Structure 1
Amino acid sequence: MKLFGTDGIRGKANQPPLDSQTLVNLGIVLGRQLNRSSEEALVLFAHDGRRSSGQIRCALEAGLLSTGASTRNGGLLTTPALAHETRLGHYSAGVMLSASHNPAEDNGIKLFGGDGRKLADSLEAKIEQEMASGVALPEGEPGMSGRFKDPGLDYRRWLEEAPFAGLSLSGLRILVDCANGAGSRLAPRVLSDLGASLVIRNDRPDGSNINLQCGALYPNYISEEVRSQGCDLGLCLDGDGDRSIFVDDAGQVVHGDALLCLLAEAQLERGELAKSKIAVTVMSNLALKKRLRARGIEIVETPVGDRSVVAAMEEQGLSLGGEPSGHIIFGPEHHYTGDGLYTCLKLLRLLKSSGKALSALTQDFRPFPQLLVNVRVNEKPALDSLPRVVEAQKAVEERLGEDGRVVLRYSGTENLCRVMIEGPEEGLVRELTEQLADAVRLAIGAPE
C-alpha cells in the first residue's frame, strides 16, 4: 500500500490508510525505526482539532507504545509549533495529525524527525517497505504515555525571545481568523503578548468546523470586517497553521506573490537575502518573476509543494522561498519551516519599520490573470502519453507565446489534474483554460 503522498499521509478517518489496524502497524514500524537510533524513544503528538484525531492518535500510540517507545500528547498545536517543540524538547520524533486546508472529514499524518524537519523521502520509503513486508507484534516492556503540560510554551518563548525580541505590536489592530483549527489558541496568545489589539474570529474548533467557510481558503469572508473594524490587517490561517493569507487595511486580499515580493525586497534592502535569490514554484505569477528580476533578484523555480521549495533552498543556500498559496519558507533562521504566524510577525515588523499601511506597500503589484481548474480523473497516466492532451497544450502555448504559460500537473493527494493558465487578458485565459481542461476530461476524466 502506498502510504505517503506529497505531504505525509492523507485520507478519510477509519478508512485505509487511516483505519485502526494500519495505524497500529504504522506505529509499530515507526517505533522500531526510532528504537534503532535512540535508547529511549519519545514521540510528541499534536492535532489541528478534527474529530477523528483522537482515534488516529490512540491507534498510532498503541503501536508505538508496544515497541517500548513513549509518547506525549501536545493537544491543539500548529504544525510549525509541533515541529519546533519536537526540536527544542529533544524528542525523537513528532507526529502532527492534520489534513491542513482540507475539510473536517479528512485527516492526515505528518511525521517529523528529532530535528523538527519532515522525514526524508528515503525514510518514508523504508517505512512503506517494512509495512508491506508484514508487521510482527512486539514483545517486551511497553512505553509510557503522558500529556504535554503547556503546549507551545517553548515555541512561544522562542518566538518572543529570539527572532522577534524587542518587537512591539502596540498600536496595531489585527483581525485574526483562526480557521477553527490548530492556531485557535496559539496565534491570539502570541499576538496579544506582543501588544497587538485583536479582533478574533473562528477560534472555537468543535471537531467538525475546521476550514468551514473560514481561514486561508476564505479570506474574502473577513475583508469587509477588517476595513470596518479599522484593522491594520487581517490574518487568515489555514487548518494546521503552516500558511497564511492576509487582508490589507482597505479590505483587499493580498496576493501571495505580492507578499513574497515584499519580503524578498525587504531582505534585499537589509542585505539578508542570501545570494539575491528566492525559490518559488511553477505556480507563482509572472508578475512576481518580472518584478523581482527587475530589482536584481534571481528566481529559482521548483515543482509545486513546500518540500520542493525547501530542497531548492537548502541546495542553493537560500534564505527565502514560498508559494502563492501563502506558504512562506524562511531558511536557517526558521529551520526551513512554513509557519503562518511567523510570516505574520515578519510582515507586522515590516509595517512597523516602514510606517506604511499594508495597502500602500502592495498597491503596485499587478498579477497577470491566472485561472486554475481542477479536473477529476479516473487514473494518472503520464500526461505526455495522452495525444489529445499534448496537442491541446501545444495549441494553447502557441497562442500565448511569451506572454503567458501553462502548468499541467496531477494533485499529489487527490485524483485531480490541475490545469493552470496565465496570460495577458482574462478572457483569453478563461477560454484557453477551458479548452485544455476539456481535453483532459475527454482523455481521462471521471464523472463529477
Structure 2
Amino acid sequence: MAKQGPGRATSRKTTPAKPKAGKPAAKLKPPATVSPAARLFGTDGVRATAGEESLSPLNILRLGRALGRYLCSFTKGAERPVVLLGVDPRPSADFVGTTLCAGLTAECCDVHWPGMMSTPEVAYLTKHGPFAAGVAVTASHNPASDNGIKIIAKDGGKLPDAVERELESAMAGQDAEAPALPAKGRFGWLQLSRERHYEEFIVRTFRASFANLARKPLRVVFDNAFGARSIDLQVVSRLAKSVTLGRTSPQLRTGMPMSTNEELANNVLDIFYLNTASPSQPEQHHQINAGVGSLHPQACAKAVKELQADLGVCFDGDGDRCVLIDETGAVRDGDFMLALLAADLKAAGKLKGDTVVSTSMANFGLEAALSALGLKLLRTEVGDRFVREAMKSGGLVLGGEQSGHLIIADEQHDIGDGLYTALRIIEVMLDSGKKLSELCAGLTKYPQVIRNVRVSHKPDLHSLRHVVEARREAEKKLAKSGRIVVRYSGTEPLLRIMVEGKDPGLVESVASAVEAAARKELA
C-alpha cells in the first residue's frame, strides 16, 4: 500500500521531512501469536480496561513500536520524529504513557510529554508545532478503570482507517514476547511553554469579541469532570471577571475565589469551576467522570439553578466534547448546539454549503429545525472522525455529534474541542442578548430512546437471529413515522439501540423489544 505521510517528522530542528522516493515500509517479523485480522482501533482510538486486552503492557509496547517505525519511515538521514504525548488525570496514565514511550523511543522517536493535557490541546499543538504526530492517553468519557490511546495525525485529526490497519498488521508481525529494546530515541519533557500556544490561541480568538460585546456579565458554571480540562483554569480566567473554585454543589456558596481579572475594560464572565482535578492530589484521579461531567450533568444543572447562573458547561474526561445546561437547568446536547450555531452562521453568511454534518444518531428534530432555516443535514457513521472527513471533503464548517463533540472549522481550528465550542456559544449569547433556552427554542426533539446492552463480544449483527427479527418487526411498527439504529459502541463493550418516532409509547415498547432480544443473545 502506498503510504501517505503523516506530515512533518522532525528532530530538534523543524525542517519538514519528505519520504524518500520509492522507499518501502520497514518490515517487521512474521506473525507469531497475534492475528493480523484483529482490530485494535475502535471509532476513537484504542480503548479498554487499563492493563487488559488491547491495553495489556505487551500490546501497548507493540503499538508504540509500530507507530514509531511508521513515523520513522518518512524521515531521512539522522532525523528523528518528535511525538507529543499528553494524558488525562486517570490512575493508569503513567503506566500507559511510559509503556507506549518505551516502544516509540526504541524505534528512534523522540517523545515530549508535558503531563496532563486535553485532547484538543494535543491536536492543536500537533498541527501547529514541530511534531510528527500526537498521542492523547485518555479514555474520554469512560470510567477511571479504563484508558485509551488516541493517535493524532499531523493535520490535527485522527489517523485514517488505512493507517490504523497498517499499524495493526505491524503489531501482528512482532514477536510474541517483548524483546530487549535499546532506546534509540530520546525521552524529553516540555516545560514552561507547555500550554502557552493553545492558551494564547483561545485568548486571542475570544478576548476582543467578548470585550466588544460587553453586557451584564454572564455567570457560567464549568464542570471539569475531574478530567484534563482542569488544567485550563488559567486559560478561561484570562477571559473572566472572576473565577471561583468549588468542588460539588453543596459547597457552592463557600467556594474559594481564585482570581479577579482587571485586564479587560469590560469583563463579561463570572466563572465557577466544579470537579477540578489537581495533579498533586492523586486521590481525585479515581473520580474522573464518576457521576459528573458530560454523561452526568445533573450536578452541574443543580449548581446552575442554585447559583442562578446563565449557563452550565459539562466536559468529558479529555475535554473534546461538552454538553450545556441552560438557565432553567435543562440539558442541551449536541443537537441543540448544532442548531443554534447553524442559525448564527447562516445569519452571518458563513455557513458554507448551507449544510451541517452530523451522524445517524442525530435527532430528527435537528433535521427539521435546519430544514426550516433552508439548511441541509448530512449524516455520517457515528464517530467524530467521519464527521470531520465529510466536512473536509465538502468544504463545510459545522458538524458534530449528539454527544456534544462539535467541530467549528476555520483556518486555525478544525478539531473537536469542548472549550472552544462552549466559548463560541457564549459569544452567540453575548451578541444576541438572548438566554440559552431562547436560542434553543427553534428545535423540538422527537421522542428518542437510547438503550445500552453490555456485551462480552461483538459478533456480526446480521448473525444474531433474534436481534435481526426484533429489528425487522420494529421497522414495521415504526413505518415512516420513526427509525431505529442498532450498532456496537466503538469505545465501550456495549450494543447501542436508538429508537426515534412521533409516538413516545411506541418508541419505548419497540426499544424494549429489541433490547430484550439483544440481551437474550449477547448479555
Q: TM-score, normalised by structure 2?
A: 0.81
The amino acid across from 1:131 in the alignment is: M
What is aligned with 2:339? Answer: 261
Write out aligned runs for 1:268-347 (5 A).
268-333=346-411, 335-347=413-425
Q: CA distance change for structure 1 residues 323 and 142 in 2, over 3 Å: closer, same or farther? A: closer
When the two structures are aligned, how many residues end up with a matched partner?
A: 444
Write out aligned runs for 1:39-438 (5 A).
39-134=79-174, 141-162=184-205, 165-168=208-211, 171-186=217-232, 188-195=233-240, 196-205=269-278, 206-333=284-411, 335-438=413-516
* Larger mean Cα displacement after TM superposition, 203-212 or 91-100: 203-212
2: CA distance, partners of 1:378 / 1:23? 22
Q: For the Cα contact (< 8 Å) 2:277–2:285, is it kept in 1? A: no
* Larger mean Cα displacement after TM superposition, 346-355 or 326-335: 326-335
The amino acid across from 1:381 in the alignment is: P
Unpaired segments ≥5 residues, structure 2: 1-37, 241-268, 279-283
Cα-to-partner distance string for 1:142-164 (whole Å, 9 max, x where unaligned): 42422333332101111222466
1: CA distance, partners of 2:470 / 2:237? 53
Q: For the Cα contact (< 8 Å) 2:222–2:271, is it kept in 1? A: yes
Q: For the Cα contact (< 8 Å) 2:210–2:430, is it kept in 1? A: no
1:20 deviation in Å? Answer: 2.2
Q: Does 1:22 align with 2:59?
A: yes
Cα-to-partner distance string for 1:62-102 (whole Å, 9 max, x where unaligned): 22222222111121111001111122222111110000000
Q: For the Cα contact (< 8 Å) 1:410–1:418, is it kept in 2? A: yes
Q: For the Cα contact (< 8 Å) 1:28–1:138, is it kept in 2? A: no
1: CA distance, partners of 2:183 / 2:300? 54
Q: For the Cα contact (< 8 Å) 1:178–1:202, is it kept in 2? A: yes
1: CA distance, partners of 2:519 / 2:412? 42
1: CA distance, partners of 2:460 / 2:55? 28
Q: For the Cα contact (< 8 Å) 1:72–1:148, is it kept in 2? A: no
2: CA distance, partners of 1:148 / 1:117? 24
Q: For the Cα contact (< 8 Å) 1:285–1:367, is it kept in 2? A: yes
Cα-to-partner distance string for 1:190-247 (whole Å, 9 max, x where unaligned): 2221122111100025221100111111112221221221211011001000000111
The amino acid across from 1:10 in the alignment is: R
SS of 1:185's equivalent in the other structure is helix
* Larger mean Cα displacement after TM superposition, 26-35 or 347-356: 26-35
Cα-to-partner distance string for 1:374-432 (whole Å, 9 max, x where unaligned): 12335433333444333322222222222211111112233322111111232221111
Q: For the Cα contact (< 8 Å) 1:67–1:143, is it kept in 2? A: no
1:335 deviation in Å? Answer: 4.2
2: CA distance, partners of 1:167 / 1:43? 35
Q: TM-score, normalised by structure 1?
A: 0.94
1: CA distance, partners of 2:220 / 2:362? 27
What is aligned with 2:522? Answer: 445
The amino acid across from 1:17 in the alignment is: S
* Larger mean Cα displacement after TM superposition, 430-439 or 141-150: 141-150
2: CA distance, partners of 1:354 / 1:389? 48
The amino acid across from 2:512 in the alignment is: E
Q: For the Cα contact (< 8 Å) 2:72–2:81, is it kept in 1? A: yes
Q: For the Cα contact (< 8 Å) 1:330–1:336, is it kept in 2? A: yes
**Percent of matched pairs sharing the same residue:** 39
1: CA distance, partners of 2:455 / 2:128? 43
Q: For the Cα contact (< 8 Å) 2:451–2:515, is it kept in 1? A: yes
1: CA distance, partners of 2:275 / 2:456? 36
1: CA distance, partners of 2:467 / 2:57? 40
SS of 1:301's equivalent in the other structure is strand
1: CA distance, partners of 2:185 / 2:358? 45
1:140 deviation in Å? Answer: 7.5
2: CA distance, partners of 1:392 / 1:20? 40
* CA RMSD of superposed structures (Å): 1.9
* Larger mean Cα displacement after TM superposition, 318-327 or 404-413: 404-413
1: CA distance, partners of 2:333 / 2:148? 28
Unpaired segments ≥5 residues, structure 1: none
2: CA distance, partners of 1:224 / 1:172? 17
What is aligned with 2:281? Answer: none
Q: CA distance change for structure 1 residues 384 and 22 in 2, over 3 Å: closer, same or farther? A: closer
Q: For the Cα contact (< 8 Å) 1:76–1:151, is it kept in 2? A: no
2: CA distance, partners of 1:299 / 1:224? 33
2: CA distance, partners of 1:360 / 1:299? 22
2: CA distance, partners of 1:40 / 1:377? 42
SS of 1:208's equivalent in the other structure is helix
1:32 corresponds to which of 69, 94, 97: 69
1: CA distance, partners of 2:455 / 2:52? 21
The amino acid across from 2:388 in the alignment is: V
Q: For the Cα contact (< 8 Å) 2:114–2:189, is it kept in 1? A: no
Q: For the Cα contact (< 8 Å) 2:369–2:442, is it kept in 1? A: no
* Larger mean Cα displacement after TM superposition, 93-102 or 168-177: 168-177
Q: For the Cα contact (< 8 Å) 1:281–1:302, is it kept in 2? A: yes
